Amino acid sequence: MGTEGRTITESCLTEEQWVESQRNEAWFWQTQKSQDNLEQRQRNNYYRNVLEDGCVIFRDFFAQDFTESTIIDVGSGPKGILHVLNAKFKLAIDPLMSTYIKQGYDVGMDNVWWLAAPAEDFHPYTIPGNPVLFDYALCLNALDHMRDPAMAIKNIALYLEPVAELLLIIDLRVEGLLDVYHQLVVTEDDVLSWLEPYFGIVEKELIRHGDGTINILKQLVIRCRKYS
């Protein structure tokens, strides 16, 4: 099936695809755990290097002072970037969070609260001291792993303050470049249509990957702000 003429509702995974995708993701992080660990990567300033080497939008976003702010990272995985950010309240959300803990990841280090829930249906009210509404949201290389990206964006917007910012990074693949971790064809138009009801675009950049070693067509980086 081609990518032209698809509706938003078609940009969803089936139940079978979702279960397979989650199983593969859990396996990936299990293999990563056997090769290194989060504590070692922090000692090596891994995340600091990521912040310095990222694109301009990425660097500018994280150059902000989050000390008095609240941040939610949706689809964080076990090694989210929240661990090196200094913020008043930090919440990491991932449907596999309980699995990561069983694998030996310390997902709650560095004062990061965590919630095991899908992006489409998370409710932070169960977290003690949660701010209910957040000042910033991150969704970094996660949206194309989700079962229903449009619903995920809608739910993220629900828990953000007016004029709160969302930083979104997503890989745009064509059908022939999908793999066991990325089973959803997502276009730039799809992403913009999902954001449009809730967010205004502040900055947008397309980064091309053409070295033949990564099956990514383009990487879309968007900084947007929730409507007031």
Cα dist from 43 to 30, 49, 194, whole Å: 21, 12, 38
pLDDT band, very low/low/confident/very high, at 46 (cuts 50, 70, 90): low
Higher pLDDT, 218 or 134: 134
Nearest to 89 by CA among 120, 128, 121, 119: 128
pLDDT at position 227: 95
**Could you read off the pLDDT of 70-104 as tens digits, one per residue?**
999 999 998 889 988 999 999 999 999 999 999 98
Residue 140 has pLDDT above 50, yes or no: yes
Count the neighbouring beta carbons within 10 Å of the beta carbon of residue 80.
25
pLDDT at position 180: 57
C-beta of residue 145 within 8 angstroms of C-beta of residue 75: yes
**Could you read off the pLDDT of 114-134 as tens digits, one per residue?**
999 999 988 877 777 777 799
Q: Residue 215: CA atoms inside 13 Å, Cβ hemisphere, count? A: 12
pLDDT at position 1: 26
**Cβ within 8 Å of residue 168, ≥6 positions away:** 139, 140, 143, 191, 195, 220, 221, 222, 223, 224
Domain ranges of the chain: 13-226
pLDDT at position 88: 94
Whether domain 13-226 has CATH 3.40.1350.10: the reply is no
C-beta of residue 103 within 8 angstroms of C-beta of residue 27: no
68 residue type, one letter? E
pLDDT at position 215: 52
